[in-house]
Amino acid sequence: MNVLISGGSGLIGSAICDWLFYEKNDVFNYDFKTRPYMNNLDAKNPLQDLLSCDLCNLPQMDAFIDCSWPAKPSDQFKTWNTVVDHFKQQGHGKMILFSSIYGHKTPDFSI
């Protein structure tokens, strides 16, 4: 299975990436930071450009997992709409929006 994960270098995302990789899936990490053994996609490039790029040679994605924390919620909605449109074009795909209750607040690790 080909899985695109946004925010795959964070605490939650890296654990999901590792598990998916261990289970023999092809993992594509869309983040600003890279991870070893993953197919890393630089988040400086708009996701829409990467998914529609003929030269990028990306396989069809079977699933998208969002573990990112965007600076603006509108960026996250734009990403979700891009993925939904991509899945509609290819005729299949699953989308998982993963988050934590601490996702939109500066962490206090003393808790």
Cross-strand bridge partners of residue 6: 30, 66
Q: What ranges do the domains of the chain cover?
A: 23-97
Instruction: Answer yes or no: are the C-beta atoms of 17 and 76 closer than 8 Å.
Output: no
The pLDDT profile of the chain, 111 residues, written as one tens digit per residue, is 999 999 999 888 999 999 999 999 999 999 999 988 889 999 998 888 888 877 677 888 999 999 988 778 788 888 999 999 999 999 999 999 986 666 556 667 676
What 3-state DSSP class applies to 91?
A: coil
User: Strands, DSSP E only, in the chain?
Assistant: 2-6, 26-31, 39-42, 63-66, 94-97
